[in-house]
Amino acid sequence: MDFSARLEKLQQQANETVSTIRSASAEPRDQLKQRLDQARVDANLALMDVRQQAEQTSDQVQSKWAQLKADASIWMDDIKSKIDKRADQRDAKAAAKDADRAERDAVDAIDYAVFAFYSAQLAVLDALDARAFADERAKIADA
């Protein structure tokens, strides 16, 4: 399995995200809303891709992915709901509290992504070790 290629794709996506966020931080709200809509589409497509991959894995892995997918769907629905409610806010203090909450959520999401990255690193190293161990056992068995 080519883990390096998948990690390079992840790195490219992270670089694109940094660039997008830098650009978005200077854009007017109507452009931000367009970016939000596109980000929602992209996240849903990524979730569908994960679902498809999970369906092709073992039952144990499927149950872990099922929980992850459920959590991701709930989280994305929650963010969409908060974005939709934002348009109804008239109070500046309530809007500021909403912005503070959204910023905390963003920091939490980034922290989770960092954790997920290190978890992926651990999983890849575990897979490499498991394959090396299996190859060693196969050589011993053949000898």
- pLDDT tens digits, 72-94: 777 777 777 777 777 777 788 88
Compute the average pLDDT of residues 104-118.
83
Residues 123 and 70 in one domain: no
Q: What is the pTM of this model?
A: 0.62
What span, in angstroms and rounded, lies between the C-alpha atoms of 47 and 35?
18
Residues 32 and 19 in one domain: yes
Total domains in the fold of the chain: 2
- pLDDT tens digits, 90-110: 788 888 888 898 888 888 888
Nearest CA to 54 among 46, 65, 69, 45?
65
Residues 9 and 39 in one domain: yes
